[in-house]
Amino acid sequence: MNDWHKSSYSPNHSNCVEAREHAGGADVRDTQNRENGYITVPAAQWVALLAGLENGL
């Protein structure tokens, strides 16, 4: 499993979400509340989300 990373678009890399990609999709968590765990997004939905963001969704 990959390491957690933050968006390079987040100002000062704060107040954002972190993601880690894996074969099944991606795990996403809130940087300010890491202790609350994460949600897992299936691969097809993760790819669709990223494509939508790239297209200005």
Residue ranges covered by each domain of the chain: 5-54
CB atoms within 10 A of CB 53: 11
Per-residue pLDDT tens listing for the chain (57 residues): 779 998 777 776 567 889 999 999 999 999 889 999 999 999 999 999 989 988 876
pLDDT of residue 45: 97
Predicted local confidence at residue 14, as pLDDT: 66
Residue-level pLDDT at 21: 95
Cα–Cα dist 29/37, whole Å: 7
pLDDT at position 13 is 58
pTM score > 0.85 for this model?
Answer: no
